[in-house]
Amino acid sequence: MKILTSTPAGDGFLMPAEFAPHQGCILIWPHRRDSWQNGAYAARKAFAELITIIAGSEKVTVCARFEDYDEARRLLPDNVRVVEMSSDDSWARDVAPTFITNGSELRGIDWGFNAWGGLYDGLYFPWDRDNKIARKLCDLMDADCYDLRDFILEGGSIHTDGEGTLLTTEECLLGRGRNPDMSKQEIEEKLCSSLGVKKIIWLKRGIYNDETNGHIDNICAFTAPGEVVLAWTDDKNDPQYEISKECLDILEDSTDAEGRKIRVHKLILPKPVHITAEECEGLDHMDGEPTRTPGERLAASYVNFYIANKTVIVPQFGDENDKKALELLSGLFPDRVVRGIYARDILIGGGNIHCITQQIPAVSKT
Amino acid sequence: MKILTSTPAGDGFLMPAEFAPHQGCILIWPHRRDSWQNGAYAARKAFAELITIIAGSEKVTVCARFEDYDEARRLLPDNVRVVEMSSDDSWARDVAPTFITNGSELRGIDWGFNAWGGLYDGLYFPWDRDNKIARKLCDLMDADCYDLRDFILEGGSIHTDGEGTLLTTEECLLGRGRNPDMSKQEIEEKLCSSLGVKKIIWLKRGIYNDETNGHIDNICAFTAPGEVVLAWTDDKNDPQYEISKECLDILEDSTDAEGRKIRVHKLILPKPVHITAEECEGLDHMDGEPTRTPGERLAASYVNFYIANKTVIVPQFGDENDKKALELLSGLFPDRVVRGIYARDILIGGGNIHCITQQIPAVSKT
B71 touching chain A per CB within 8 A: no
Whole-complex ipTM:
0.95
| Contact pairs from chain A to chain B, CB under 8 Å | 49
Q: Do A204 and A242 meet the contact criterion of CB atoms below 8 Å apart?
A: no
In tens digits, chain A (366 residues) has pLDDT values of 999 999 999 999 999 999 999 999 999 999 999 999 999 999 999 999 999 999 999 999 999 999 999 999 999 999 999 999 999 999 999 999 999 999 999 999 999 999 999 999 999 999 999 999 999 999 999 999 999 999 999 999 999 999 999 999 999 999 999 999 999 999 999 999 999 999 999 999 999 999 999 999 999 999 999 999 999 999 999 999 999 999 999 999 999 999 999 999 999 999 999 999 999 999 999 999 999 999 999 999 999 999 999 999 999 999 999 999 999 999 999 999 999 999 999 999 999 999 999 999 999 975
pLDDT of B366 above 70: no
**pTM reported for the whole predicted model:** 0.97
Q: Does the CB of A66 have a partner CB in chain B at under 8 Å?
A: yes
Residues 7-26, chain A, touching B (beta carbon < 8 A): none
Q: Note the pLDDT tens digit of each residue in B11-64.
A: 999 999 999 999 999 999 999 999 999 999 999 999 999 999 999 999 999 999
Of A59, A34, A143, the residue nearest A357 (C-alpha): A59
Predicted local confidence at residue A365, as pLDDT: 72
Q: What is the pLDDT of residue B39?
A: 95
| pLDDT over threshold 60, residue B300 | yes
* Own/partner long-range contacts of B230-239 (Cβ < 8 Å, ≥24 apart): B230/B264, B230/B265, B230/B266, B230/B267, B230/B303, B231/B207, B231/B267, B231/B269, B231/B301, B231/B302, B231/B303, B232/B266, B232/B267, B232/B268, B232/B269, B233/B268, B233/B269, B234/B268, B238/B208, B238/B272, B239/B208
Inform me whether the C-beta atom of residue A149 falls under 8 Å from chain B C-beta atoms.
no
The pLDDT confidence band at residue B196, using thresholds 50, 70 and 90, is very high
Distance from CA of B348 to the nearest CA of A (A): 28
Amino acid at A216: I
Chain A residues 250-269 with CB within 8 Å of chain B: none
Q: What are the residues facing B290 on neighbouring strands?
A: none
Q: Residue B282 CB: number of other CB atoms within 10 A? A: 17
Element (H, E) at B62: strand B59-64
CA distance A63 to chain B (A): 10
Mind telling me the catalytic residues of B?
Answer: 355
* B100-153 per-position pLDDT tens digit: 999 999 999 999 999 999 999 999 999 999 999 999 999 999 999 999 999 999
Q: Which residue, among B62, B76, B139, B144, would best test binding to A if mutated, counting the most A CBs under 10 Å from its CB?
A: B139
Residue B331 burial (10 A CB sphere; 0-12, 13-18, 19+) = exposed
Determine whether the interchain pair B139/A78 forms a contact, defined as Cβ–Cβ distance below 8 Å.
no
Helix-, strand-, coil-residue percentages of chain A, each rounded to 5 = 30, 25, 45
Instruction: Judge residue A6's burial from the number of C-beta atoms within 10 Å of its C-beta, 0-12 exposed, 13-18 middle, 19 or more buried.
Output: exposed
| 8 Å CB contact of A83 and B129 | no
pLDDT digits (tens, 9 = 90+) for B308-354: 999 999 999 999 999 999 999 999 999 999 999 999 999 999 999 99
